[in-house]
Structure 1
């Protein structure tokens, strides 16, 4: 009896698991599944980020007796939602056509920020423009512009990408110019983020592995040289190699971040109950907000955040794989790699696996331009999801759906591959043109040949006819 009951329970569990798997597979096969999954990930990350920033800023608001730290994140999220809607609403073909202009604007702003018009954390840095209480950092715009323009260049030259000259030029030289402008600020963390976009474009276009070995080796050498040559970068590298070398100075943030993660335990100390934000961990709302998540929400909250970024990686690559337009595939892959890669670097240096670089956690950390531009990148990804062939067919035949009707989104246009040019066979030059050096002449037509043959003298005409009739035939006497 017990064996039969156990077997029946196992059968029931197996049937429920099978039904759940079949239902999930059927839902994922729906035309707009990628679009809805991306919206869910975007909404959850944005809400978690807003809540954690408000929690981290609560102590500052209590000390200042103002709500400045509350109103600014709300305003930035409102601007970010506008950017998300624009990225979702604008046709992708317009973004591709406008991508060279957008890159020129980003490069111009990167050069302009190095002038006295730019400002930074101290007198020697020029990283952003100050607009009242808000600031604009042009390097964030350069990440999206490089992804859009780089995909446009590679797709335009896709028939020639087997040659290194066409694979690297002009993508790599233009990227080097952007890297140089960012390093002049100086901002090593943003340079690394922009490098992720470049590597993603080369990876997903199918560049050979030896090229990545050369690029990564050169980038590593450049980072080491720049770290040794700069005081604060050298200090960060020393602290990474020996965390206890300066616990009250440069090593304070990494050590306090590890203490905050340890204090959180499995379920955390509770939302708003973290102690790290009481000046134990400086600027916790910016670069080290993942430590506050681990302290207040515990290991469970940290795993949820990591799971959302992992889900973003899966959904972004799914969008790229399900599209037929090669430009959309490259853009979706590059934007996904940038956001997920930047999140991995931020979490890596918070938990002590990487040296501190100052890269923010996308959609979670407090920031001005990073929040707005990241939300706009999510809007472009959602637009790419709506351009999947199945989604296009469903939206054009069944209507915009609930989300599309609420946001008044137009139906995307189906992808039409460019027409292939027919190869033109080159004409054969006359036999004597190469010897005489003259210009090519048209070959005579059969009618002209007959006319010239008939106009020959009678004796010559009879000799040619006899030669044609007897050519190749021999007689018994050996005469032809």
Structure 2
């Protein structure tokens, strides 16, 4: 009597078990929460390391300590961690109740910052409140307040089954008022971010496609007019379409960023070994920090940053799609769109695909107000993840 020999099935069994475990973990409600928290921590830590590397030379050359800008960023990161925890613990009902008063307060701050002697003017832009230890930028606060209040407003309109005019009238004039006040600072980059917030709210709020297209086209036309209205903005547009016309002038920064990225190659020159930060690349620690990441950490470092933001998109939209509360759904989807679009615009102009706008890379670029406000928004999204069914 012969015995049948069992057929080999290879090693697919353990692989399926590992894959099944990962899929099972993703299916847990708290998986989105853990993803959001992990992404916030990783991007913040990466930002602190890269700000230290990119700013040390210029900080020391300016007569101060090589750690001066890094210490400021670290202090604001600690403050951001506090507001992250507060946003994580605040009840959603209370957040909705306070949404309009806080939004109105942010509009008042935008008006006050334009008053001479109240707001601080730096390099031609009056957009900060100098509090001595730190500087506060009201336009950054307005991003969060517009997202929260707009989501509350649209969620209320949906529950009342209001018409499209009722959706547009309260939200669009208020959003345009905020954009106008930010333009007067002047601050086109933040105006673009606010436009993204308003557009995403209308999109996820269910605005008809024909009306949405009309508003989107109007926004693009307005942004183009604003981009060409001021000398330095029109110079940036000219440098983008004709990069070789003035390589030592208006096109210098974008050109040096490309050299910095090319110098990094696949593996990078090594952490702290950038050449561009030795006063060859202006704003290396701020708007163009992605170029320093590419130079020191190489293509793999850039891919890591892109991967983290891609994972953030997955987590944010997953929270929105799984939520049964229309407020949480609108809030999470709009905030995810705003942060992701801002990151893509920053990376886009660093690699030469878009004109230079000055939008920072969220959680990575130097800038205390931007870092703290973005961590606040991540805390709100993590709070929303705790309410998944």
Query: 5+ unaligned residues in a row in structure 2: which ranges?
Result: 1-6
| CA distance in structure 1 between the partners assigned to 2:36 and 2:164 by the alignment | 35
Give runs of ≥4 in structure 1 deviating > 3 Å. Answer: 159-162
Structure 1 residues 333-352: Cα deviation after superposition (integer angstroms, max 9, x where no partner): 11111111100110011011
Structure 1 residues 327-374: Cα deviation after superposition (integer angstroms, max 9, x where no partner): 111111111111111001100110111100000000000001100100
Question: Counterpart in 1 of 2:14?
Answer: 16
Following superposition, the deviation at residue 118 of structure 1 comes to 1.2
| CA distance in structure 2 between the partners assigned to 1:357 and 1:246 by the alignment | 18
Following superposition, the deviation at residue 218 of structure 1 comes to 0.9
Aligned residues of 2:285 and 2:366 also touching (Cα < 8 A): yes
Aligned residues of 2:199 and 2:216 also touching (Cα < 8 A): no
**Matched length:** 380
Question: Counterpart in 1 of 2:244?
Answer: 244
TM-score by length of 2: 0.95
Question: Counterpart in 1 of 2:340?
Answer: 340
Aligned residues of 2:193 and 2:342 also touching (Cα < 8 A): yes
Q: Which has the higher contact order (CA 8 A, sep 6+)?
A: 2
| CA distance in structure 2 between the partners assigned to 1:212 and 1:16 by the alignment | 49
Instruction: Specify the SS of the correspondent of 2:22.
Output: helix
Counting only pairs closer than 5 Å after superposition, residues 347-426 of structure 1 correspond to structure 2 as: 347-389=347-389
| CA distance in structure 2 between the partners assigned to 1:65 and 1:99 by the alignment | 41
| CA distance in structure 2 between the partners assigned to 1:76 and 1:156 by the alignment | 35
Counting only pairs closer than 5 Å after superposition, residues 251-262 of structure 1 correspond to structure 2 as: 251-262=251-262
Question: Counterpart in 2 of 1:121?
Answer: 122
Instruction: Specify the SS of the correspondent of 1:354.
Output: coil
Question: Counterpart in 1 of 2:34?
Answer: 36
Question: Counterpart in 2 of 1:331?
Answer: 331
Structure 1 residues 423-472: Cα deviation after superposition (integer angstroms, max 9, x where no partner): xxxxxxxxxxxxxxxxxxxxxxxxxxxxxxxxxxxxxxxxxxxxxxxxxx
Q: RMSD of the alignment, in Å?
A: 1.4
Structure 1 residues 230-275: Cα deviation after superposition (integer angstroms, max 9, x where no partner): 1011100000001111111111110001111000000100000001
Following superposition, the deviation at residue 380 of structure 1 comes to 0.6
Following superposition, the deviation at residue 217 of structure 1 comes to 1.1
Following superposition, the deviation at residue 162 of structure 1 comes to 6.5
Greater displacement, 356-365 / 218-227: 218-227
Instruction: Specify the SS of the correspondent of 1:127.
Output: strand
Question: Counterpart in 2 of 1:186?
Answer: 186
Following superposition, the deviation at residue 227 of structure 1 comes to 2.1
Following superposition, the deviation at residue 174 of structure 1 comes to 0.6
Following superposition, the deviation at residue 99 of structure 1 comes to 0.3
Following superposition, the deviation at residue 166 of structure 1 comes to 1.2
Counting only pairs closer than 5 Å after superposition, residues 461-476 of structure 1 correspond to structure 2 as: none
Instruction: Specify the SS of the correspondent of 2:130.
Output: strand
Query: 5+ unaligned residues in a row in structure 1: which ranges?
Result: 1-6, 390-480
Instruction: Specify the SS of the correspondent of 2:248.
Output: coil
Question: Counterpart in 2 of 1:105?
Answer: 105
Aligned residues of 1:160 and 1:167 also touching (Cα < 8 A): no
| CA distance in structure 1 between the partners assigned to 2:110 and 2:56 by the alignment | 34
Counting only pairs closer than 5 Å after superposition, residues 115-194 of structure 1 correspond to structure 2 as: 115-116=115-116, 117-122=118-123, 124-159=124-159, 163-194=163-194
| CA distance in structure 2 between the partners assigned to 1:249 and 1:352 by the alignment | 16
Instruction: Specify the SS of the correspondent of 1:194.
Output: helix
Following superposition, the deviation at residue 133 of structure 1 comes to 4.3
Counting only pairs closer than 5 Å after superposition, residues 198-237 of structure 1 correspond to structure 2 as: 198-237=198-237
| CA distance in structure 2 between the partners assigned to 1:61 and 1:118 by the alignment | 25
Question: Counterpart in 2 of 1:273?
Answer: 273
TM-score by length of 1: 0.77
Matched, 1:93 2:93: yes
Structure 1 residues 297-338: Cα deviation after superposition (integer angstroms, max 9, x where no partner): 000000000000010010001111111111111111111111
Following superposition, the deviation at residue 69 of structure 1 comes to 2.1
